[in-house]
Amino acid sequence: MKNDLVLYKIGITTRNINKRLAEVVMSLFNAYRYIPYTTVRKFTASNGFKHIEADMHKRYNDCQYEMHKKVSGGTEFFKIDESEEETMIEYYCELLEKYKDIELKEPRVIKSTKMININDITPISIIM
């Protein structure tokens, strides 16, 4: 990876945001032996998380960055010009408003160390 390359990861998680960020950075390090400067630009809890992610990925599909090595969340990296960051965040906020009243249609169960009902946790959409 080039040192001057600026990528944005657009994704969702139900885990602690700092742990997810650390997981992505560690994965990049393991693949490329490079630790990028990384910061979370915006994250918000939303039941419309799947729609937000899909709309963001669709809008920036032409900017999708293909990793040459396998990394965690590797299909969710986008090479978007830094001058477009504010526009991207504004679009993200518009989507939050658009999908604010969505309700989860049915409870789903996620397996981890214990069984967790998805209605008991708050999904988060993220731009890193």
Residue 114: predicted pLDDT: 35
Written as six digits, the tokens of 25 are 């950075």
pTM: 0.79
Residue 1: predicted pLDDT: 60
Q: Where are the domains of the chain?
A: 8-127
Between vectors from CA 112 to CA 114 and to CA 54, what angle results, nearest 5°? 130
Q: Residues 32-40: what's their mean pLDDT?
A: 86
Confidence of residue 87 (pLDDT cuts 50, 70, 90): very high
Confidence of residue 113 (pLDDT cuts 50, 70, 90): very low
Question: If DSSP states are collapsed to H, E and C, what string results for 87-121?
Answer: HHHHHHHHHHHHCCCCCCCCCCEEECCCEEEHHHC
Residue 127: predicted pLDDT: 61
Of 40, 41, 58, 128, give the one whose Cα is nearest residue 95: 58
CA dist 53 and 124 (Å) reads 10
Of 128, 108, 121, give the one whose Cα is nearest residue 56: 128
CA dist 41 and 50 (Å) reads 19
Does 29 or 120 have the greater pLDDT score? Answer: 29
